[in-house]
Amino acid sequence: MFVWAVARQYFPAHLDTFLTQYTTKLVGLFYPYVEITFPEYAGDRLKRSEAYAAVEAYLGSSCAERANRLKAEADGDGAGLVLSMDEYEELADDFGGATLWWSSHKTSSVAAFFSLFPRPDECRSYCLAFHRRHRQLVHTAYLHHVMKEGKALEVRRRRRKLYTNNHGYDRYFRTMWSHVAFEHPATFDTLAMDADRKREIMEDLLAFSKGKDFYAKIGKPWKRGYLLYGPPGTGKSTMVAAMANLLDYDVYDLELTAVRNNAALRKLLVETTSKSVIVVEDIDCSQQLSSRRNNNRKKNKKKKRKDLEEEEYSEDGEKEEEIGSEVTLSGFLNFIDGLWSACGGERIIVFTTNHVERLDPGLIRRGRMDVHVELSYCTFEGFKVLARNYLGVEAHRKFARVRELVGERAMTPADVAECLMPRSVGSGADADERVVEGSLARLIRALERRKRNRNGEESVGNRNGDICEKGGQRNEPECCTWM
């Protein structure tokens, strides 16, 4: 096969086509079997084929007892293993009185052998072979059965993931996202914020997730933008996790500064799966960096183009990192709501920022960022949520004093939460009461101290409930804990 593949390269194109056509016809006369191939990356190769994934899941379920060589992976909750067919393995399946044969294959691009920078360009596929007389059965029933069963298995085994984009550039169009299991425990229940606003956001998210037909009817891609803004420690990242947990979505944490250019950004977008939250944290910082780099680029445009050509084949991302991001604002706007943004559907795009005023108005206009959510300093209502989470109390005689102080002092939920964190683990009702008393007293002390230190600077509570001023005059620095 290899010799044939190499020899074919030296045939003129029209001769190669001619030979292939007639060989296929000749084989067809004597070979009564039909073959259907399911490549992992079909067509444009930008995105993993859904049909391939469904076949993989389907065969995985039936190969455990029959195949000799299997691959194993941890399953959805990590408690068990998922088996799938190993490469070059074969399996027979019976359906409606017919026997059908599946085989798995892996091919390497011939071009890669002759590259100055050889890299394996592997392409996996499954092949289904069956007798001609079963053609009708396969087309009308079997393929539908495989897709349905396979997709159902995929959903059952699904383990939510937290993705991040890699530095570097893959000229073979392989995935530029790497992932770990998404295990953030935040929910809207544990989020300290105004109850009505919280309900509104939850309703909006749930309506979005059920809105496929509605979005199709109004001619809009099925996606929704959220802008979360507010000072550090007010729960923006926590809310992203709560959103993903509410909707059971994956999270893509997009590091814009690691994206090489607009084309790479587009590829990243196409690689994201539906039912996902794509988040760009601290969007104001990303933009600054990209505009700074764009200015540099203008100065050194010629040199950089040469560098880019040389680095394109780099195996590790390090050199590419030096070149920096060339993502432009218009490229990024295209990412959010250009033609490409509609691929895949059912996606929430979230930007978080501490400085909403620094953002380009075009970036956050309604329609792009549909919902703007301000997360701010802790209110009494927010405090009650945190007291319930951290101390398990709904009411306490010290709450009255907290109510007096908390509204007028700018303390973030992160600071309040830090004060409420129980310092000792005891047992029995007395110990519990002591922990609650201690934590509330610490919070009250911190709030009162904040009154005396009103110089408008942001503050962080330490383990003793005291306040450390960030970047300004600090009290009792030896007891500060920065985490």
Ligand X SMILES: Nc1ncnc2c1ncn2[C@@H]1O[C@H](COP(=O)(O)OP(=O)(O)OP(=O)(O)O)[C@@H](O)[C@H]1O
Q: Angle of helix 236-247 relative to helix 195-209, nearest 10 degrees? A: 40
Cα distance between residue 304 and residue 288, in whole Å: 20
Q: How far is the CB of 314 from ligand X (least distance, A)?
A: 32
Cα–Cα separations (whole angstroms), residue 390 to 108, 378, 427, 440: 55, 15, 16, 11
Nearer to ligand X, 55 or 414 (CB): 414
Which listed option, Mg ion, ligand X, none, makes contact with residue 85 (CB within 5 to 8 Å by class)? none
Interface positions, 168-197, toward ligand X (CB under 6 A): 190-193
Q: Is 234 in the site for ligand X (CB under 6 A)?
A: yes
Instruction: Say whether residue 237 binds Mg ion (CB under 5 A).
Output: yes
What does 232 bind: ligand X, Mg ion, none (CB cut-off 5 to 8 Å by kind)? ligand X
Q: 83: which 2 tokens?
A: 């088996």
Residue closer to ligand X (CB basis): 115 or 187: 187
CA 307 from chain centre, in angstroms, equals 31
Q: Does 461 bind ligand X (CB under 6 A)?
A: no
Longest dimension (CA), the chain: 94
Least gap, CB of 188 to ligand X (angstroms): 10
417 binds, among ligand X, Mg ion, none (CB under 5 to 8 A by kind): ligand X
CB of 458 to ligand X, least distance (A): 11
Amino acid at 67: A
Give CA 369 to chain center in angstroms: 18
Q: Which does 420 bind (CB under 5 to 8 A by kind): ligand X, Mg ion, none?
A: none
Please identify, using beta-carbon distances, which residue of 160 and 236 lies nearer to ligand X.
Answer: 236
Say how far apart CA 63 and CA 71 lie, in whole Å: 10
Between 354 and 475, CB nearer to ligand X: 354
Q: Could you say which of 236, 266, 384, 442 contacts ligand X (CB under 6 A)?
A: 236
Question: What part of residues 380-419 is at the interface with ligand X (CB under 6 A)?
Answer: 413-414, 417
Q: In whole angstroms, how close is the CB of 193 to ligand X at the nearest point?
A: 5
Position of minimal CB gap to Mg ion: 237
Could you say whether residue 233 binds ligand X (CB under 6 A)? yes
Q: Six-digit token pair at 149? A: 């069963």
- CB-hemisphere CA count at 13 Å for 66? 14
Q: What is the C-alpha separation between 389 and 189, in angstroms, rounded?
A: 9
CB of 352 to Mg ion, least distance (A): 6
> Are the C-beta atoms of 368 and 226 separated by less than 8 Å?
no
| C-beta closer to ligand X: residue 196 or 478 | 196
Q: Which stretch binds ligand X (CB under 6 A): 204-212, 228-236, 323-331, 427-435?
A: 228-236
Q: How far is the CB of 240 from ligand X (least distance, A)?
A: 8
Q: Which is nearer to ligand X, 231 or 438 (CB)?
A: 231
CB closer to ligand X, 322 vs 394: 394
What angle do helix axes 399-406 and 380-391 make, rounded to 10 degrees?
Answer: 140
The Cβ of residue 295 has, within 10 Å, a number of other Cβ atoms equal to 9
Task: Pick between residue 233 and residue 331 the one whose CB is nearest to ligand X.
Answer: 233
- Residue 376 binding result from Mg ion, ligand X, none, given CB thresholds of 5 to 8 Å by partner type: none
Q: Which residues make Cβ contacts (< 8 Å) with residue 412, sequence separation at least 6?
A: 231, 232, 233, 234, 377, 378, 458
Q: Are 169 and 327 in contact (CB under 8 A)?
A: no
The reply on whether position 232 binds ligand X by CB under 6 A is yes
- In whole angstroms, what is the distance from residue 260 CA to residue 52 CA? 29
**Inter-residue long-range contacts of 464-467, CB under 8 Å, 24+ positions, other chains counted:** 465/419, 465/441
235 interface partner picked from Mg ion, ligand X, none, CB below 5 to 8 A per type: ligand X
36 vs 421, beta carbon nearer ligand X: 421
> Which string of x and - marks every residue 350-379 that binds ligand X (by CB under 6 A)?
----x-------------------------
Please list the alpha-helical segments (H only) found in 225-312.
236-247, 262-271, 283-299, 301-311
DSSP state at residue 354: S
Instruction: Check: CB of residue 265 under 8 Å from CB of residue 297.
Output: no
Binding partner of residue 39 among ligand X, Mg ion, none, CB cut-off 5 to 8 Å per kind = none
Give the residue closest to ligand X by C-beta: 235
- Residue pointed to by tokens 């010629």: 302
DSSP strands (E only) in 148-249:
161-165, 177-181, 223-229
Interface residue list for ligand X (CB under 6 A): 190-193, 232-238, 354, 413-414, 417
Interface residue list for Mg ion (CB under 5 A): 236-237
